[in-house]
Amino acid sequence: MSLNIYEAFMQIVEQGSISAAARVLSVPRPTISRRLTRLEERIGERLVQRGSHQIVVTRAGRALYQRVRGPLADLQAAERSITDASATPKGLLRVAIPPLMVDPLSPVLLEFQRKHPDVSLEIFTETRYVSLTTEGFDVAIRGGVLRSPDLIQRRLLTLGVGLVASPAYLERHGTPTQLADLAHHELLRSYDNKNRPRAWWPLREGGRFAVDGSFITNDRRLLLAIASAGGGIALLSENQYGLPIRTGELVRVLPDPVGTTIGLYIVYPDRGILTTRSRVFVDAVIQFASQWKARPAEMLAGP
Protein backbone atom coordinates (compact mmCIF):
# COMPACT_ATOMS: atom_id res chain seq x y z
CA MET A 1 0.00 0.00 0.00
CA SER A 2 1.25 3.49 -0.89
CA LEU A 3 3.08 5.45 1.75
CA ASN A 4 0.81 8.46 1.14
CA ILE A 5 -2.20 6.52 2.48
CA TYR A 6 -0.50 5.98 5.85
CA GLU A 7 0.76 9.55 5.79
CA ALA A 8 -2.81 10.78 5.35
CA PHE A 9 -3.98 8.65 8.28
CA MET A 10 -1.18 9.92 10.50
CA GLN A 11 -1.98 13.54 9.71
CA ILE A 12 -5.71 13.00 10.33
CA VAL A 13 -4.89 11.68 13.80
CA GLU A 14 -2.33 14.38 14.58
CA GLN A 15 -4.28 17.32 13.16
CA GLY A 16 -7.67 16.23 14.46
CA SER A 17 -9.62 16.49 11.22
CA ILE A 18 -9.57 15.49 7.57
CA SER A 19 -9.64 19.13 6.48
CA ALA A 20 -6.61 20.03 8.60
CA ALA A 21 -4.71 17.01 7.29
CA ALA A 22 -5.50 18.10 3.74
CA ARG A 23 -4.10 21.57 4.43
CA VAL A 24 -0.89 20.20 5.95
CA LEU A 25 -0.32 17.82 3.04
CA SER A 26 -1.48 20.35 0.39
CA VAL A 27 -3.86 17.75 -1.00
CA PRO A 28 -7.60 18.17 -1.70
CA ARG A 29 -9.86 17.09 1.17
CA PRO A 30 -11.70 14.41 -0.89
CA THR A 31 -8.34 12.81 -1.66
CA ILE A 32 -7.47 12.54 2.06
CA SER A 33 -10.89 11.08 2.78
CA ARG A 34 -10.42 8.56 -0.05
CA ARG A 35 -7.06 7.47 1.31
CA LEU A 36 -8.52 6.92 4.77
CA THR A 37 -11.34 4.82 3.30
CA ARG A 38 -8.85 2.68 1.36
CA LEU A 39 -6.84 2.02 4.51
CA GLU A 40 -9.96 1.08 6.49
CA GLU A 41 -11.12 -1.25 3.72
CA ARG A 42 -7.73 -2.94 3.60
CA ILE A 43 -7.52 -3.43 7.36
CA GLY A 44 -11.20 -4.25 7.78
CA GLU A 45 -11.63 -1.93 10.75
CA ARG A 46 -13.04 1.54 11.30
CA LEU A 47 -10.07 3.70 12.23
CA VAL A 48 -11.78 7.06 12.57
CA GLN A 49 -15.34 8.02 13.42
CA ARG A 50 -16.18 10.97 11.21
CA GLY A 51 -18.25 13.80 12.68
CA SER A 52 -19.51 17.03 11.14
CA HIS A 53 -16.80 19.11 12.82
CA GLN A 54 -14.26 16.67 14.26
CA ILE A 55 -13.10 13.08 14.17
CA VAL A 56 -12.75 10.49 16.91
CA VAL A 57 -9.96 7.94 16.60
CA THR A 58 -11.15 4.43 17.37
CA ARG A 59 -9.28 1.87 19.47
CA ALA A 60 -8.07 0.20 16.27
CA GLY A 61 -7.02 3.59 14.91
CA ARG A 62 -4.99 4.41 18.03
CA ALA A 63 -3.29 1.02 17.91
CA LEU A 64 -2.37 1.44 14.24
CA TYR A 65 -1.10 4.97 14.85
CA GLN A 66 1.25 3.78 17.59
CA ARG A 67 2.57 0.95 15.41
CA VAL A 68 3.25 2.95 12.24
CA ARG A 69 4.33 6.33 13.65
CA GLY A 70 8.00 5.44 14.09
CA PRO A 71 8.49 3.40 10.89
CA LEU A 72 6.69 6.05 8.86
CA ALA A 73 8.98 8.78 10.19
CA ASP A 74 11.99 6.66 9.24
CA LEU A 75 10.65 6.11 5.72
CA GLN A 76 9.91 9.82 5.26
CA ALA A 77 13.42 10.69 6.35
CA ALA A 78 14.85 8.17 3.88
CA GLU A 79 12.73 9.59 1.06
CA ARG A 80 13.76 13.15 1.90
CA SER A 81 17.41 12.17 1.75
CA ILE A 82 16.93 10.66 -1.71
CA THR A 83 14.86 13.61 -2.90
CA ASP A 84 17.43 16.09 -1.64
CA ALA A 85 20.15 14.17 -3.45
CA SER A 86 18.27 14.43 -6.73
CA ALA A 87 16.76 17.89 -6.29
CA THR A 88 17.61 18.93 -9.85
CA PRO A 89 14.66 18.07 -12.13
CA LYS A 90 15.73 15.63 -14.83
CA GLY A 91 14.42 12.79 -16.95
CA LEU A 92 11.37 12.36 -19.20
CA LEU A 93 8.18 14.25 -18.34
CA ARG A 94 5.09 13.26 -20.37
CA VAL A 95 2.23 15.76 -20.31
CA ALA A 96 -1.21 15.54 -21.95
CA ILE A 97 -2.78 18.86 -22.95
CA PRO A 98 -6.02 19.62 -24.84
CA PRO A 99 -5.24 21.09 -28.28
CA LEU A 100 -7.07 24.27 -27.31
CA MET A 101 -4.56 24.88 -24.50
CA VAL A 102 -1.40 24.61 -26.60
CA ASP A 103 -1.24 28.30 -27.53
CA PRO A 104 -1.99 29.79 -24.10
CA LEU A 105 0.38 27.36 -22.38
CA SER A 106 3.27 27.80 -24.80
CA PRO A 107 4.93 30.56 -22.67
CA VAL A 108 5.02 28.40 -19.55
CA LEU A 109 6.29 25.41 -21.56
CA LEU A 110 9.11 27.46 -23.07
CA GLU A 111 10.04 28.95 -19.70
CA PHE A 112 10.00 25.51 -18.09
CA GLN A 113 12.42 24.15 -20.69
CA ARG A 114 14.67 27.15 -20.27
CA LYS A 115 14.84 26.70 -16.49
CA HIS A 116 15.11 22.90 -16.54
CA PRO A 117 17.26 21.82 -19.50
CA ASP A 118 17.79 18.32 -18.03
CA VAL A 119 14.08 17.51 -18.38
CA SER A 120 12.89 16.00 -21.66
CA LEU A 121 9.41 17.47 -22.06
CA GLU A 122 7.04 15.38 -24.17
CA ILE A 123 3.71 17.11 -24.91
CA PHE A 124 0.77 15.06 -26.20
CA THR A 125 -2.31 16.90 -27.52
CA GLU A 126 -5.60 15.05 -27.79
CA THR A 127 -9.26 15.85 -27.23
CA ARG A 128 -9.94 12.59 -25.37
CA TYR A 129 -8.99 12.00 -21.76
CA VAL A 130 -5.85 9.88 -21.81
CA SER A 131 -5.25 7.35 -19.04
CA LEU A 132 -2.32 8.66 -17.05
CA THR A 133 -1.61 5.32 -15.40
CA THR A 134 -1.95 2.91 -18.33
CA GLU A 135 -0.56 5.24 -21.02
CA GLY A 136 2.40 6.43 -19.00
CA PHE A 137 1.66 10.14 -18.53
CA ASP A 138 2.92 12.11 -15.56
CA VAL A 139 0.61 15.12 -15.70
CA ALA A 140 -2.46 16.23 -17.68
CA ILE A 141 -4.54 19.36 -18.06
CA ARG A 142 -8.26 18.77 -18.33
CA GLY A 143 -11.47 20.74 -18.48
CA GLY A 144 -14.97 19.82 -17.42
CA VAL A 145 -16.31 17.88 -14.45
CA LEU A 146 -13.73 15.36 -13.27
CA ARG A 147 -14.70 12.20 -11.44
CA SER A 148 -11.52 10.15 -11.26
CA PRO A 149 -10.76 8.86 -7.73
CA ASP A 150 -7.21 7.87 -8.73
CA LEU A 151 -6.07 11.39 -9.64
CA ILE A 152 -5.06 14.43 -7.64
CA GLN A 153 -7.02 17.31 -9.16
CA ARG A 154 -5.98 20.94 -8.67
CA ARG A 155 -8.26 23.60 -10.11
CA LEU A 156 -6.60 26.25 -12.24
CA LEU A 157 -9.66 28.39 -12.96
CA THR A 158 -13.38 28.32 -13.76
CA LEU A 159 -14.73 29.14 -17.22
CA GLY A 160 -18.19 29.92 -18.53
CA VAL A 161 -19.64 27.94 -21.44
CA GLY A 162 -22.35 29.25 -23.78
CA LEU A 163 -23.73 29.50 -27.30
CA VAL A 164 -22.31 31.99 -29.80
CA ALA A 165 -22.75 32.92 -33.44
CA SER A 166 -21.56 35.65 -35.76
CA PRO A 167 -23.74 38.72 -36.35
CA ALA A 168 -23.73 37.92 -40.09
CA TYR A 169 -25.12 34.44 -39.48
CA LEU A 170 -27.90 35.74 -37.23
CA GLU A 171 -28.78 38.44 -39.76
CA ARG A 172 -29.26 35.77 -42.42
CA HIS A 173 -31.04 33.17 -40.31
CA GLY A 174 -32.62 35.11 -37.46
CA THR A 175 -31.79 35.16 -33.77
CA PRO A 176 -33.22 32.28 -31.69
CA THR A 177 -35.40 33.43 -28.80
CA GLN A 178 -36.22 30.01 -27.33
CA LEU A 179 -34.75 26.52 -27.34
CA ALA A 180 -37.20 25.24 -29.94
CA ASP A 181 -35.83 27.76 -32.45
CA LEU A 182 -32.48 25.92 -32.53
CA ALA A 183 -34.09 23.15 -34.58
CA HIS A 184 -34.11 25.57 -37.53
CA HIS A 185 -30.45 26.56 -37.26
CA GLU A 186 -27.05 25.16 -38.23
CA LEU A 187 -25.62 23.73 -35.01
CA LEU A 188 -21.85 23.27 -34.98
CA ARG A 189 -20.89 20.33 -32.78
CA SER A 190 -17.69 19.27 -31.07
CA TYR A 191 -16.56 15.97 -29.59
CA ASP A 192 -16.98 15.03 -25.93
CA ASN A 193 -14.14 13.83 -23.69
CA LYS A 194 -14.74 10.23 -24.82
CA ASN A 195 -14.01 11.27 -28.41
CA ARG A 196 -17.62 10.98 -29.56
CA PRO A 197 -19.69 13.61 -31.41
CA ARG A 198 -21.52 15.63 -28.78
CA ALA A 199 -25.25 14.88 -28.85
CA TRP A 200 -26.44 17.35 -26.22
CA TRP A 201 -25.84 20.82 -24.82
CA PRO A 202 -26.16 21.79 -21.13
CA LEU A 203 -28.92 23.91 -19.60
CA ARG A 204 -28.13 26.45 -16.90
CA GLU A 205 -30.95 25.26 -14.66
CA GLY A 206 -29.66 21.70 -14.87
CA GLY A 207 -30.21 18.93 -17.38
CA ARG A 208 -29.51 19.05 -21.08
CA PHE A 209 -31.18 18.98 -24.46
CA ALA A 210 -30.45 16.96 -27.57
CA VAL A 211 -28.76 18.59 -30.56
CA ASP A 212 -28.01 17.55 -34.10
CA GLY A 213 -26.05 19.13 -36.92
CA SER A 214 -24.17 18.31 -40.08
CA PHE A 215 -20.85 19.90 -39.03
CA ILE A 216 -18.82 18.03 -36.38
CA THR A 217 -15.17 18.50 -35.43
CA ASN A 218 -12.86 17.43 -32.62
CA ASP A 219 -10.84 20.64 -33.03
CA ARG A 220 -12.38 23.48 -31.02
CA ARG A 221 -10.16 26.00 -32.79
CA LEU A 222 -11.85 25.01 -36.05
CA LEU A 223 -15.23 25.22 -34.32
CA LEU A 224 -14.44 28.81 -33.35
CA ALA A 225 -13.26 29.64 -36.88
CA ILE A 226 -16.41 28.24 -38.52
CA ALA A 227 -18.68 30.05 -36.06
CA SER A 228 -16.80 33.32 -36.61
CA ALA A 229 -17.08 32.89 -40.36
CA GLY A 230 -20.87 32.63 -40.14
CA GLY A 231 -21.22 28.84 -40.36
CA GLY A 232 -23.67 28.43 -37.50
CA ILE A 233 -24.16 28.38 -33.74
CA ALA A 234 -21.51 26.76 -31.53
CA LEU A 235 -21.12 25.92 -27.86
CA LEU A 236 -17.79 27.41 -26.77
CA SER A 237 -16.00 28.15 -23.53
CA GLU A 238 -15.14 31.61 -22.23
CA ASN A 239 -11.49 31.35 -23.19
CA GLN A 240 -12.63 31.01 -26.82
CA TYR A 241 -15.56 33.38 -27.09
CA GLY A 242 -14.37 36.15 -24.72
CA LEU A 243 -12.14 38.10 -27.08
CA PRO A 244 -14.28 37.62 -30.26
CA ILE A 245 -17.33 38.91 -28.38
CA ARG A 246 -15.48 42.03 -27.27
CA THR A 247 -14.39 42.71 -30.84
CA GLY A 248 -17.90 42.08 -32.21
CA GLU A 249 -16.87 39.00 -34.18
CA LEU A 250 -19.31 36.86 -32.18
CA VAL A 251 -22.39 37.47 -30.05
CA ARG A 252 -24.03 35.35 -27.35
CA VAL A 253 -27.10 33.30 -28.24
CA LEU A 254 -29.73 32.20 -25.68
CA PRO A 255 -27.40 33.03 -22.77
CA ASP A 256 -30.03 32.50 -20.08
CA PRO A 257 -31.25 28.95 -20.82
CA VAL A 258 -28.14 27.41 -22.40
CA GLY A 259 -24.70 27.07 -20.84
CA THR A 260 -22.79 26.07 -17.74
CA THR A 261 -19.46 26.57 -16.01
CA ILE A 262 -16.52 24.18 -16.13
CA GLY A 263 -13.30 23.86 -14.23
CA LEU A 264 -9.87 23.71 -15.77
CA TYR A 265 -7.60 21.38 -13.80
CA ILE A 266 -4.09 20.07 -13.67
CA VAL A 267 -4.14 16.41 -12.64
CA TYR A 268 -1.62 13.72 -11.78
CA PRO A 269 -1.80 10.16 -10.42
CA ASP A 270 -2.44 9.65 -6.71
CA ARG A 271 0.48 7.28 -6.29
CA GLY A 272 2.69 8.82 -3.65
CA ILE A 273 5.41 11.45 -3.82
CA LEU A 274 5.69 13.37 -7.08
CA THR A 275 8.95 13.24 -8.95
CA THR A 276 10.88 16.48 -8.80
CA ARG A 277 10.26 17.14 -12.50
CA SER A 278 6.49 16.63 -12.10
CA ARG A 279 6.32 18.80 -9.01
CA VAL A 280 8.13 21.77 -10.53
CA PHE A 281 5.99 21.51 -13.67
CA VAL A 282 2.75 21.46 -11.67
CA ASP A 283 3.95 24.44 -9.61
CA ALA A 284 4.86 26.36 -12.77
CA VAL A 285 1.44 25.82 -14.36
CA ILE A 286 -0.41 26.75 -11.17
CA GLN A 287 1.62 29.95 -10.85
CA PHE A 288 0.98 30.78 -14.49
CA ALA A 289 -2.74 30.10 -14.05
CA SER A 290 -2.96 32.69 -11.29
CA GLN A 291 -2.39 35.30 -14.01
CA TRP A 292 -5.38 34.01 -15.96
CA LYS A 293 -7.93 34.40 -13.18
CA ALA A 294 -8.18 38.16 -13.51
CA ARG A 295 -8.77 38.12 -17.28
CA PRO A 296 -9.10 34.46 -18.41
CA ALA A 297 -10.78 35.28 -21.72
CA GLU A 298 -7.84 37.44 -22.78
CA MET A 299 -5.06 35.39 -21.22
CA LEU A 300 -6.31 32.14 -22.71
CA ALA A 301 -6.78 33.62 -26.16
CA GLY A 302 -3.09 33.01 -26.78
CA PRO A 303 0.36 34.44 -26.06
3-state secondary structure 15-31: HCCHHHHHHHHCCCHHH
Q: Which of 80, 159, 158, 89 is nearest to 118 (CA)?
A: 89
Q: Which of 67, 72, 53 is nearest to 8 (CA)?
A: 72
The pLDDT, as a whole number, for residue 293 is 53
Structural fold of domain 89-303: D-Maltodextrin-Binding Protein; domain 2 (3.40.190)
Contact between 211 and 199 under an 8 Å Cβ cutoff? The reply is: yes
| Cα dihedral 151, 156, 162, 164 in deg (nearest 10) | -120
Same fold, 3-85 and 89-303: no
The pLDDT, as a whole number, for residue 77 is 63
The pLDDT, as a whole number, for residue 104 is 84
Q: Which CATH number among 2.40.50.140, 3.40.50.720, 3.50.50.60, 1.10.10.10 corresponds to the domain 3-85?
A: 1.10.10.10
| Below-50 pLDDT ranges, the chain | 294-303
